[in-house]
């Protein structure tokens, strides 16, 4: 009996020793793992930075560009940062597209009319003829009516290393600032007038002498007499430029640039090197900015038009229908001429007409006359 008890005691002691060795070994292993973990801390990946130059040195359009950039930076969550550069920071506005193509810049924020010299068809993506549509419907054509595919075809034919997104439906641009009230097209003949894109061809067809100038040079040019009349884009920008100091006759409504939008363009090699998630953010932030622009800018334009009238003594006129009818006739001449010389231009025009006929046919039939309701309440 005593022998059996001694044997059991030895067995228990051995078992205890074995368990202690196991626990000691486990603790050492755990400590080793923990030490290894603390010895190799996580190193955050540096954000990809895109250098994007805007065509704007200040004012509401630079605000719009910043709004898009802020949207991207917040959505990217530290994986991407757009460094927005103002006008002429790296290259002149006229050189921006080439700079993005070559990779000198990663991207640009501007309008298609600024590279119109490369191809007349470029202007059709922002400053083309009005087929009864607004910039909202033009953007609909770009996104869902075949416009984006035609744009990419144009990029391929020009050999440009670019990926572009379009946003921000601009209200129709005013006819602009004149030294006297315009009551008919005959008053415009011979005037030196500032505009851009295909609108330059249209206004030339109407007998004007057209000068294409950057926004910041318009007011000084009119003040010095280099030009007699001018347009830029909207009441807010015009007020910021000080156009009210060189003219007191501001004509609203025109078909020379009745639909326009921003183009945000990126170097395609750089764009394709980004993750699919970041590519999607760059695209969908553009779509989100589409709505933000319209809500934000139309109120500012309306408020600043009131300031121009009440605070600066500007006479605001509605452009006569006769002038706008003559603009459409001039558009017909310009479109027919260029279509006869450029098959791709004609192809884009036909695509736009097909979309506009269908969509505007529906909208014109369905939309009530909002002006009736406005006059009912406000006179």
Cβ within 8 Å of residue 344, ≥6 positions away: 119, 121, 153, 154, 157
* Confidence (pLDDT) at 126: 87
Distance CA 79, CA 95 (A): 29
- Joined together, the tokens standing for residue 219 give 């007011």
- Say yes or no to pLDDT of 82 above 80: yes
Structure confidence at residue 85 as a pLDDT band (50, 70, 90): very high
The DSSP element (H or E) to which 93 belongs, if any, is none
- Say yes or no to pLDDT of 299 above 70: yes
- Say yes or no to pLDDT of 18 above 80: no
Q: Which of 298, 57, 44, 65 is nearest to 171 (CA)?
A: 298
Is there a contact between 163 and 270 (Cβ–Cβ < 8 Å)? no
Q: Pick the residue with more confidence: 192 or 44? A: 192
Distance CA 365, CA 239 (A): 37
Least confident span in 18-27, 65-74, 85-94, 224-233:
18-27
Least confident span in 3-7, 102-106, 185-189:
3-7
Distance CA 252, CA 174 (A): 4
Cβ within 8 Å of residue 215, ≥6 positions away: 56, 232, 233, 237, 241
Please give the mean pLDDT across all residues of the chain.
90
Share in percent of the chain as helix, strand, coil (round to 5):
60, 15, 25
- Say yes or no to pLDDT of 40 above 90: no
- Say yes or no to pLDDT of 84 above 80: yes
The DSSP element (H or E) to which 204 belongs, if any, is helix 198-205
* Confidence (pLDDT) at 215: 85
Q: What b-and-e string marks burial along 324-344, b requiring 16 or more CB atoms within 10 Å of the CB? A: bebbeebbeebbeebbeeeeb
Least confident span in 33-47, 135-149, 220-234, 332-346:
33-47
Q: Which of 62, 130, 195, 20 is nearest to 356 (CA)?
A: 130
Q: Which of 68, 79, 147, 157 is nearest to 108 (CA)?
A: 68
* Confidence (pLDDT) at 26: 43
- Say yes or no to pLDDT of 62 above 70: yes
Strands (DSSP E) contained in 292-371 are 315-318
- Say yes or no to pLDDT of 360 above 70: yes
Phi, psi of 145 (to 5 degrees): -110, 10
* Confidence (pLDDT) at 47: 87
- Say yes or no to pLDDT of 148 above 90: yes
* Confidence (pLDDT) at 170: 96
What is the CATH code of the structural domain delimited by 48-173+260-315+342-365? 3.40.190.170
Mean pLDDT of 180-199: 96
Domains of the chain, residue spans: 48-173+260-315+342-365
Phi, psi of 134 (to 5 degrees): -105, 180
* Confidence (pLDDT) at 38: 42
Mean pLDDT of 60-73: 97
Is there a contact between 133 and 356 (Cβ–Cβ < 8 Å)? yes
| pLDDT tens, position by position, 114-126 | 998 899 999 999 8
* Confidence (pLDDT) at 45: 67
Mean pLDDT of 5-21: 44
How buried is 212 (Cβ within 10 angstroms: 0-12 exposed, 13-18 middle, 19+ buried)?
A: middle
* Confidence (pLDDT) at 44: 53
């Amino acid at each position: 009996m005593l022998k059996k008890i001694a044997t059991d005691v030895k067995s228990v002691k051995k078992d205890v020793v074995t368990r202690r060795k196991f626990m000691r070994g486990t603790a050492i292993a755990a400590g080793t793992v923990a030490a290894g973990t603390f010895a190799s801390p996580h190193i955050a990946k540096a954000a990809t930075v895109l250098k994007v130059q805007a065509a704007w040195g200040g004012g509401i359009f630079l605000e719009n560009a910043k709004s898009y950039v802020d949207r991207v930076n917040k959505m990217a969550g530290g994986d991407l940062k757009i460094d927005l550069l103002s006008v002429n920071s790296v290259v002149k506005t006229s050189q921006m597209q080439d700079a993005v193509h070559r990779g000198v810049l990663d991207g640009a924020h501007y309008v298609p009319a600024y590279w119109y010299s490369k191809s007349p068809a470029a202007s059709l993506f922002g400053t083309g003829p009005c087929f009864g549509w607004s910039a909202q419907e033009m953007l609909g054509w770009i996104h869902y009516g075949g416009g984006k595919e035609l744009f990419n075809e144009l990029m391929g034919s020009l050999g440009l290393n670019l990926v572009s997104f379009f946003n921000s439906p601009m209200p129709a641009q005013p006819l602009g600032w004149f030294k006297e009230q315009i009551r008919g097209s005959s008053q415009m003949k011979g005037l030196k007038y500032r505009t851009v894109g295909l609108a330059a061809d249209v206004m030339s067809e109407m007998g004007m002498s057209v000068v294409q100038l950057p926004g910041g040079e318009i007011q000084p040019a009119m003040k010095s007499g280099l030009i007699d009349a001018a347009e830029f884009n909207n009441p807010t920008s015009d007020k910021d430029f000080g156009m009210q100091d060189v003219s007191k006759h501001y004509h609203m409504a025109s078909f020379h640039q009745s639909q326009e939008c921003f183009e945000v363009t990126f170097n395609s090699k750089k764009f394709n090197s980004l993750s699919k998630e970041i590519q999607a953010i760059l695209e969908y932030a553009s779509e989100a900015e589409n709505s933000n622009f319209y809500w934000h800018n139309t109120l500012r334009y309306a408020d600043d038009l009131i300031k121009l009238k009440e605070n600066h003594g500007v006479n605001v006129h509605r452009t006569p229908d006769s002038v706008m009818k003559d603009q459409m006739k001039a558009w017909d001449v310009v479109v027919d001429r260029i279509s006869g010389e450029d098959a791709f231009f004609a192809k884009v025009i036909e695509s736009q007409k097909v979309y506009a006929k269908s969509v505007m046919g529906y909208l014109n039939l369905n939309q009530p006359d909002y002006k009736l309701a406005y006059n009912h309440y406000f006179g």
